[in-house]
């Protein structure tokens, strides 16, 4: 378990970096995941992409702020994951994101990602 705790933030960094980059590569796909009540969707997508990439870099560098900010970010984007799950099967989500199974599995997985963020310990990157 100690090995998993040590590696979890680095794995999360890879995930956040990749998904954060997708906010810029495929913003339209990301915009479709935002609940309808959220204003300025494109701005939210770009801002959250910047935050996710920054968190990835912070986790890799073992910055003291990176774990808490990553956890807060994951909590903040959880409503989008829930919205995707609610919309799954309606054709609103693109590609595999329209699968009820995949999207509903993703909702509780957010807890594992938050756990990974909380495991981040400041110090020298190694």
CA distance 67 to 13: 10
Mean pLDDT of the chain: 89
Model pLDDT for residues 54-63, shown as the tens digit of each residue: 999 999 999 9
Res. 122 pLDDT band, cuts 50 70 90: confident
CA distance 48 to 55: 10
């Amino acid at each position: 378990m100690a090995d998993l705790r040590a590696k979890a933030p680095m794995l999360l960094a890879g995930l956040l970096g990749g998904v954060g980059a997708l906010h810029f590569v495929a913003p339209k796909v990301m915009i479709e995941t935002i609940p309808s009540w959220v204003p300025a969707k494109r701005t939210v997508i770009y801002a959250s992409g910047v935050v996710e990439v920054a968190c990835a870099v912070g986790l890799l560098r073992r910055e003291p702020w990176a774990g808490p900010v990553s956890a807060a970010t994951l909590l903040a984007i959880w409503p989008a994951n829930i919205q995707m799950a609610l919309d799954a099967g309606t054709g609103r989500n693109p590609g595999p994101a329209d699968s009820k199974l995949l999207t509903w599995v993703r909702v509780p997985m957010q807890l594992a990602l938050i756990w990974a963020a909380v495991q981040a310990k400041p110090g020298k990157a190694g």
